[in-house]
Amino acid sequence: MTHPLPSPDRPLKIGTRGSPLALWQAHETRRCLMAALDLPEGAFEIVIIKVTGDQILDKPLKEIGGKGLFTREIEEALLAGAIDIAVHSMKDMPTLQPEGLVLDCYLPREDVRDGFVSPHHGGLDDLPQGAVVGSSSLRRRAQLGLRRPDLKLVEFRGNVQTRMRKLDEGVAVATFLAMAGLNRLGMAHVARTAISPDEMLPAVAQGAIGIERRLADARVAAMLDRIHDHATGLRLAAERTFLLTLDGSCETPIAGLAVLEGESLWLRGEILRPDGTQSISGERRGLARDGAALGRDLAQELLSRAPKDFFGWH
């Protein structure tokens, strides 16, 4: 590598949110870079940045600005040079980055499934009629409405620890958390069961960690290239192009999952009415290198099948 490497005197600054899961992801990114570049821990500095999405917990995301609430302040710090890279949960990321930033490095993807979490019930089918379920995810709420229209759904925002406390307080009898986050926090036992994608297709990019950088920063680009997971990149190219073509946001219930099968890729996608009264789904198979085209094509098909009033933005 021709560019100077980070050192304890001039550490690489890693920007992150301050939740336990976000900090785990930042530490994992540091661990991967330490191993790939043979550098000590002191060559990297983790910088916690407060984001709006973590501070306003009593309102749905769609009411306060959507996905960008988890990234805006971090991206502003990246553009200003206060940090060198930003570590994100990819399912929180808008499909387009601000001018001057790029997302082209992913760590190996974790479990993509949703976990069913409840103190007293073993699974979704075990919930009694009219049970109260907490979720802040429009996708999960719509999928639950489709499968169990009898359930009462309540807003349930906050990190893993906050949501577990709300269950203990009886705000709801069950919720759903990404298995990836539970696994990373050593809390897989919290989930009563992991739900197959055949039952609940996950959020686009669920389980993936992305590392954002300045587009013109060739030094950082060379370092991140050493830890990029190519397989995850192929899968996310299909899923995020699918989401982009649908104009996906926090106001739109969208699910999507790409699976690699050798040199081929299998992409499934689903769009839902926010109230869970209708779902439109489809799939594509093709070469993994054509993932973006597969995602675009599948999105266009689902849009062509959706009534004009299907989404609020139609």
Burial readout 299-309 (b: 16 or more C-beta within 10 A, e: otherwise): beebbeebeee
Alpha carbon separation from 159 to 54, 178, 200, 259 (Å, rounded):
8, 11, 21, 28
Catalytic residue among 92, 111, 217, 297: 92
Listing DSSP states for 142-167 in one string gives: HHHHHH-TTSEEE---S-HHHHHHHH
Q: Residue 18, Cα to own-chain centre: how many angstroms?
A: 16
The residue among 163, 198, 167, 165 whose CA lies nearest residue 178 is 163
Going by C-alpha positions, the residue among 106, 47, 124 that lies closest to residue 227 is 106
- Residue 261: phi and psi, rounded to 5, are -130, 85
Q: What 8-state DSSP symbol labels residue 6?
A: P
Judge whether 198 counts as a catalytic residue: no
Show which residues are catalytic. Answer: 92
